[in-house]
């Protein structure tokens, strides 16, 4: 039996898996790019387009812990600046466009901590962007809808629950840490 693109993605990531390294991240990013190009006629992808779920877990690897989630977002949906704790993440856009801005956490001479925007990119269908542990970014859906895949090397709910993810509030971009 021929595997579908999602099953192939999982098997390829398993074969590439290892400790965080340039090779592992690059190979996983390439596997995700390949998945983004899957024919929409495949049942799992057809269902995502039809049902447009805000969040759906597509895979969770019991041995290595990596996960792949699908998110359908609507125009203007904004997720304020955050990091992913100890986790590294790859975002891939299957349909639509997503703006992602990155930031540096800086401390003023007076001791106040704030964010300084580094750059902004529009991630289009078929493209991926990698975020390593501690990278700070926000996201905004800039098309009518977007279907994005978020590949994480571990369950981010655990990172959040254990207080390792940092979030920033929009009014003053003050450094805040999620409490368990």
Give the pLDDT mean for 107-136: 91
Rg (CA), the chain: 17
pTM of this prediction exceeds 0.85: yes
Number of domains in the chain: 1
Specify the CATH number for the domain of residue 103: 2.60.120.10
Phi-psi region of 69 (alpha: psi -120 to 50; beta: other; left: phi over 0): beta
Task: Locate 16 and state its tokens.
Answer: 């590439």
Q: Do 102 and 83 form a contact (C-beta atoms < 8 A)?
A: no
Question: What pLDDT is recorded for position 172?
Answer: 57
Domain extent, residue 17, equals: 5-177
Reference 70, options 51, 85, 86; nearest CA is 51
* pLDDT tens by residue, 45-63: 999 999 999 999 999 999 9
| Res. 173: pLDDT tops 60 | no
Reference 38, options 27, 48, 24; nearest CA is 48
């Amino acid at each position: 039996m021929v595997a579908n693109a999602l099953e192939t993605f999982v098997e390829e990531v398993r074969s590439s898996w290892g400790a965080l390294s340039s090779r592992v991240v690059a190979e996983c990013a390439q596997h995700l790019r390949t998945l983004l190009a899957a024919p929409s006629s495949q049942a799992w992808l057809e269902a995502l387009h039809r049902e447009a779920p805000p969040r759906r877990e597509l895979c969770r690897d019991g041995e290595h812990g990596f996960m792949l989630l699908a998110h359908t977002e609507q125009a203007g949906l904004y997720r304020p600046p955050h990091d992913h704790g100890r986790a590294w993440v790859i975002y891939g856009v299957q349909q639509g466009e997503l703006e992602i801005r990155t930031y540096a956490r800086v401390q003023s001479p007076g001791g106040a901590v704030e964010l300084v925007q580094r750059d902004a990119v529009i991630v289009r269908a078929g493209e991926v962007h990698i975020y390593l542990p501690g990278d700070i970014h926000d996201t905004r859906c800039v098309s009518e809808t977007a279907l994005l895949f978020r590949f994480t090397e571990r369950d981010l709910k655990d990172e959040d629950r254990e207080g390792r993810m940092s979030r920033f509030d929009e009014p003053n971009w003050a450094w805040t840490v999620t409490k368990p």
